[in-house]
Each structure stands twice: as C-alpha cells, then as structure tokens.
Amino acid sequence: MRKTTTLFIIIFTHLTLLSCLTFFPYPELFIYPYLVENGLLPYKQIFDQHLPSFLMMPINFYDFGLRNEASAKLFLLVSVFVSHIVIYAISKILFKGKKLILLPNILYLLTQPLFEGYILWIDSFLAPLLLFSYYLLLSLFRANKKIQILLLGLVLGLTLFFKQVMLPLVMSVTFLYYIRDKSKINLGVIILGIMFPLTLTLLWIVKQDILSEFFYWTVSFNFKVYADMAKKLPSLSQLLRFFIFWVPLLVWSFTKFKNKHVLLLTIFSVLTLFTAFGRFEFVHLQPSLPFIVLISSYLFFSSAGWKKPYFVLMLIFTFIWWSYLIKNLFLKPSRLFTDDVMSVSRKIDFLTKENEKIFVLGTQPIVYPLSKRLPAGNVFTVSLPWNMKVTEEKIYAALQEDPPVAVVRDIHSTIDGKKVVDFTPKINTFINDNYKLIDKIGENEILVVK
C-alpha cells in the first residue's frame, strides 16, 4: 500500500511538471485527421511519408477527441501515466524484493521531460506500447498463455502500425520468443497478432486505390528524397547528453548478456533508437528512454565499481539541465496554439465562408482545422523542403485550378535554415502575382485576391 501511494505521488509530480512546461503537439496530429474527416485521401491528396496509423485512417485521432490543445495535452499525460504503471509492473518482476523498487519510476520522472517529453508525437505513443510488449514477453517467459501470446503479437503489430522503423525490433522479439519457446503454433499466433492491424490497413489502402501512392511515399520517398534531404545530425550538446545517458549504460549492458532480462532490455533500448536515425530529435529517443531507465536501475542494484561516480555525475547533470528547462519552458505558452495562430484562424473564419478554400504557406498549417477550412485544390503537404521538392508542381497546379479565397503566408519562416518562400518559388510567385496584402498578424500576412 505504501509503495502504491508513493508511485502515484511520483506520477502526480511527473504529470504536474509536464503540465507546467511549454507544450508542443506536432501539427500533423490535428491536420491529417481533420483532412481525412473531410474526404481527402492519404498519399493521393495528403502528401506524407508516414504510415497512415491513426493520423490518416478512417478512424483516427480526430475521432478519439484530439482536436485542441487541452485534449492533446491529455493524450500526452495519459501516455506518461500508462508508461509509469507498466514500468512499475516490470520492476516488480525484475527487481522483486529490492527496497528501491520504485527507482525506475523516479528516474523516468527525472529524465523523461528532459528529452522533449513535453512534445506530443507518434513516439509518445510508442513508449507505453513497447513497455507493454516487454512486460508481456517477461510474463510469457514465466508461463505461456495463448491469449498473452496473441496480445503480444497485437501490441507489436500496433508499433509497426505507428512506425515502420520498428520492424527490426518486432522481428527480433518474435525470433527470440521462438528460440526460447520452439513452438511453431505459438509463433503463428504471434505473427497473426502482428499482421492483424497491418492487414486491415493494407486492405483499406487497396480499397481506396492508393497502393502505388502509398508505396511511393512510405518506401521510395523515404529511402531517396527524405533520406537525402532531411538528414539532421545531433548537435554537440545533444550528442553529449545522449552519450551521458545512453552510451555507458549500453556498454555495460552488453557485458551482461548472460542475464536474459538485461539482454532483452538492451535489444529494446538499441532497436528503438532507430526512430532517431536520419533526423535526430530528442523526442525520437522517447521510445528508448524507459528501457535505458530500467538498465540504469540494474546498474544501480549491481556491484559495478563505477556506478557511484556515474550516478553522481548523472544526477548533477540532470539537475543542471532541469534548471535550464525551468528557466526556458516553465509556464510558457504553447508553441503551436499561439496567440498569432489563433488570431489568424479567426480572421480567416471572418473573411471566408465554410465552403471556400484557403492556402497556408510558411505559417503553422493548423490554421486549416482551426478555421475549419480546406486547402486549395484539396491537396496538402507540410511546407518542408523534401516534401516540396516532389509536390510543388502539384500544389501549384491546384492553386491555378482552384484558387484560394484567402492566403496566409509567413515570408520569414525557415526550415533547417532555409526560407520556405525560397524552396517554393513557383507557389510564392503565384501568390505575389494574384493576391494582395490586407492585414498582418505577427509575422503572418493575410492576403486576398487582387
């Protein structure tokens, strides 16, 4: 009872801290579901390289209630809450009898916000799913139950449903379970669970006649255009922080492979790092972080001679980083639902009718769902250099065929140091030739037809 109370104090503290930090949900979580709800087809009209998941499936985040800042923050807090509960359930198996059995939860509280834990993105949903799959695996190693085997497959299938880079982890976990269990029937049950959400997705894609477009954006585009143009290496500061929190623990865990639990934790922590490959952001480390926390707890309970100086260094570094976080992000407004964006959305709502089209360039595209308007020509892509490289002609043609009644443009907006208006020259010229400025809100120009 005392441990349960302490656990909920830890969770309450964590959720309170996250609630007080600057919140940033990725705009795609709102835009794509909104466009799908209004009849636009993924990959054919919504140009994006992600799997459809709950971003672009017929049942999506919009249907689940993710429509504003408050609901998005609730999604994040629930994800963290569930992660804490599963971490505790795992700890009761791994560290049974230890007085500091809540150490992993404490470490998760201290570190999760630091690695952009206040951001809501697909990676935020992967963390609890992966933790639950690890818990199911531990349970199956103790006693095989068909329902748990099927459930493990379904959870692994959901991780693939969200991000295709989880494939190496899903294959590794399936293989390791088969090596231990040696039952082809149980292997088939896991594969059946994995394939269930993916099969439903594929059937829907075929039914919508978007298979070729789906293949291009999720495979060809990712391996060619995105891999070439969207690369983002960690900064020296990011690399240092990653090194302190990940590298020593992974190096130590590789020496403890005789312990099956450490082996599994290492596999999960390493293969989930694939989400950060290509374009490094701290938020992409969120799926790996809980497993690093569990490995660090193993180190704490071990007899390793270097654990004391390591934990002292890590705690000092953590509290310094927290002071920086509080100084810059504590009780600051959202970086997505800003006053300017909300004012722009109200202005567009005033200037246009519901059935009239608009176009947004450079500024936050969440203006579309906030103003309840659709993009010109019913085609959309986020204004990113790699997206525009292959879609600018389509967007330009849509603007000509279905000219928007109003345009919102930020000529100063940059992506990776490149001005949006510079890597969309034809679109920007079209706006200059056909639209006139009538208002400006912050950096956002409001333009209407000349």
Q: Is the pLDDT of residue 257 over 90?
A: no
Predicted local confidence at residue 35, as pLDDT? 97
Q: Is the pLDDT of residue 43 over 80?
A: yes
Q: 121-172: per-residue pLDDT in tens?
A: 999 999 999 999 999 999 888 777 788 999 999 999 999 999 989 999 999 9
Residue 434, CA atoms < 13 Å, CB-side half-sphere: 16
Judge if 196 and 97 occupy the same domain. yes
Predicted local confidence at residue 367, as pLDDT? 96
d(CA 292, CA 253): 10
Structural contact between residues 335 and 22, judged by C-beta atoms closer than 8 angstroms: yes
In a domain, 334, yes or no: no
Judge if 393 and 244 occupy the same domain. no
The better pLDDT of the pair 291, 302 is held by 291
Predicted local confidence at residue 102, as pLDDT? 96
Judge if 243 and 365 occupy the same domain. no
CA dihedral sign of residues 383, 384, 387, 392: positive
Structure tokens at 194: 């994995």
Q: 209-248: per-residue pLDDT in tens?
A: 999 999 999 999 988 898 888 888 888 989 999 999 999 9
In a domain, 13, yes or no: yes
Q: Which one-letter DSSP state was computed for residue 81?
A: H
Predicted local confidence at residue 436, as pLDDT? 95
Q: Is the pLDDT of residue 199 over 90?
A: yes
Final residue in a domain of this structure, among 311, 329, 347: 329
Predicted local confidence at residue 231, as pLDDT? 83
Judge if 240 and 346 occupy the same domain. no
Confidence band, pLDDT 50/70/90 cuts, at residue 450: confident
Structure tokens at 446: 């409001």
Structural contact between residues 10 and 102, judged by C-beta atoms closer than 8 angstroms: yes
Predicted local confidence at residue 189, as pLDDT? 92
> Percentage of residues in the chain with pLDDT exceeding 90?
82
Confidence band, pLDDT 50/70/90 cuts, at residue 182: confident
Give the mean model confidence (pLDDT) for residues 295-305: 92
Predicted local confidence at residue 12, as pLDDT? 97
* Integer CA distances (angstroms), 195 to 112, 155, 156, 166, 254, in order: 31, 11, 9, 14, 31
How distant is the alpha carbon of residue 224 from its chain centre? 22
β-sheet bridge partners, residue 435: 449
443 sits in the region (left: phi over 0; alpha: psi -120 to 50; else beta) called alpha
Written as one string, the DSSP assignment of 229-285 is: H--BPPPHHHHHHHHHHTHHHHHHHHTTTTSHHHHHHHHHHHHGGGGGSSB--GGGG
d(CA 70, CA 339): 15
The better pLDDT of the pair 96, 142 is held by 96
Structure tokens at 191: 């594969």
Choose among 213, 217, 214, 189: nearest CA to 201. 214
> Percentage of residues in the chain with pLDDT exceeding 70?
100
* Cα–Cα–Cα angle for 71, 39, 387, rounded to 5 degrees: 80
Confidence band, pLDDT 50/70/90 cuts, at residue 304: confident
Choose among 125, 92, 93, 128: nearest CA to 108. 128
Give the mean model confidence (pLDDT) for residues 311-330: 92
Task: Determine how β-strand 418-419 pairs with β-strand 414-415.
Answer: antiparallel
Confidence band, pLDDT 50/70/90 cuts, at residue 305: confident
Q: Which one-letter DSSP state was computed for residue 357?
A: -
**Mean pLDDT in the chain?**
93
Predicted local confidence at residue 264, as pLDDT? 93
Predicted local confidence at residue 227, as pLDDT? 84
What global pTM score does this model have? 0.94
Judge if 297 and 402 occupy the same domain. no
Confidence band, pLDDT 50/70/90 cuts, at residue 259: confident
Give me Rg for the CA atoms of the chain. 24
Q: Is the pLDDT of residue 366 over 90?
A: yes
* Cα–Cα–Cα angle for 296, 90, 13, rounded to 5 degrees: 70
Which range among 50-54, 333-337, 342-346, 383-387 shows the weakest confidence by mean pLDDT? Answer: 333-337
Give the mean model confidence (pLDDT) for residues 3-21: 95
Q: Which domain holds residue 304?
A: 2-329
In a domain, 107, yes or no: yes
Judge if 194 and 70 occupy the same domain. yes
How many helices and strands, by DSSP H and E, does the chain display? 21, 8
* Beta strands, E only, 376-421: 406-409, 414-415, 418-419
Judge if 368 and 288 occupy the same domain. no
Judge if 320 and 377 occupy the same domain. no
Judge if 353 and 226 occupy the same domain. no
Judge if 324 and 344 occupy the same domain. no
Judge if 73 and 194 occupy the same domain. yes
d(CA 44, CA 21): 37
Structural contact between residues 191 and 198, judged by C-beta atoms closer than 8 angstroms: no
What is the number of structural domains in the chain?
2
In a domain, 31, yes or no: yes
Give the mean model confidence (pLDDT) for residues 165-188: 91
Predicted local confidence at residue 156, as pLDDT? 96
Give the mean model confidence (pLDDT) for residues 22-26: 94
The better pLDDT of the pair 146, 302 is held by 302
Judge if 304 and 372 occupy the same domain. no
Final residue in a domain of this structure, among 289, 307, 329: 329
Predicted local confidence at residue 275, as pLDDT? 87
Final residue in a domain of this structure, among 329, 352, 375: 329
Query: Which run of H or E residues covers position 172?
Result: helix 167-181
In a domain, 189, yes or no: yes
